[in-house]
Amino acid sequence: RVDGSRLWATIAETARFGATPAGGLNRLTLSPEDGQVRDWFRDACQAAGLTVRVDALGTQYALRPGRDASRLPVAFGSHLDTQPTGGRFDGILGVLAGLEAMRALNDAGIETEAPLLLVNWTNEEGSRFAPAMMASAAYAGDFTTDEILDKTDAAGITVGDALDAIGYRGTDAVGDQAIGAFVELHIEQGPILEAEGLTVGVVEGGQGIAWFDGTITGFEAHAGTTPMPRRRDALLGLAEIALAVERIARAHAPTAVATVGEAVIGAPSRNVVPGLVRFTLDVRDPKSEVLDAIEAELRASLPAIAERRNLAVDLARIWRKEPVPFDPGVIAAVDAAAESLGLSRRRMVSGAGHDACNLAGRVPTAMIFVPCKDGVSHNESESATPADCAAGADVLLQTVLTLANA
Ligand X SMILES: NC(=O)NCCC(=O)O
Q: Which span (124-132, 160-168, 297-305, 390-398) binds ligand X, by CB under 6 A?
A: 124-132
Question: Shortest approach of a copy of itself to residue 196 CB, angstroms?
Answer: 15
Question: Shortest approach of a copy of itself to residue 276 CB, angstroms?
Answer: 9
For position 132 contacting ligand X by CB under 6 A, the verdict is yes
Contacted entry of ligand X, a copy of itself, none for residue 236, CB cut-off 5 to 8 Å set by kind: a copy of itself
For position 124 contacting ligand X by CB under 6 A, the verdict is yes
Contacted entry of ligand X, a copy of itself, none for residue 228, CB cut-off 5 to 8 Å set by kind: a copy of itself
CB count within 10 Å of CB 376 equals: 17
Are 101 and 397 within 8 A, CB to CB?
A: yes
Distance CA 278, CA 345 (A): 43
Distance of CA 31 to the CA centre of its chain: 16
For position 198 contacting ligand X by CB under 6 A, the verdict is no
Interface residue with ligand X, options 156, 224, 227, 254 (CB under 6 A): 224
Contacted entry of a copy of itself, ligand X, none for residue 405, CB cut-off 5 to 8 Å set by kind: none
Interface residue with ligand X, options 305, 313, 352, 360 (CB under 6 A): 352
For position 94 contacting ligand X by CB under 6 A, the verdict is no
Question: Shortest approach of ligand X to residue 69 CB, angstroms?
Answer: 33
* 313 or 372: CB nearest ligand X: 372
Are 37 and 27 within 8 A, CB to CB?
A: yes
Please state whether beta strands 181-187 and 365-370 pair in parallel, antiparallel, or not at all (unpaired).
parallel
Interface residue with ligand X, options 126, 205, 323, 392 (CB under 6 A): 126
Nearest residue by C-beta to ligand X? Answer: 271
* 86 or 364: CB nearest ligand X: 86
Interacting positions 265-304 with ligand X (CB under 6 A):
271
Interface residues toward ligand X, by CB under 6 A: 90, 124-126, 132, 189, 222-224, 271, 352-354
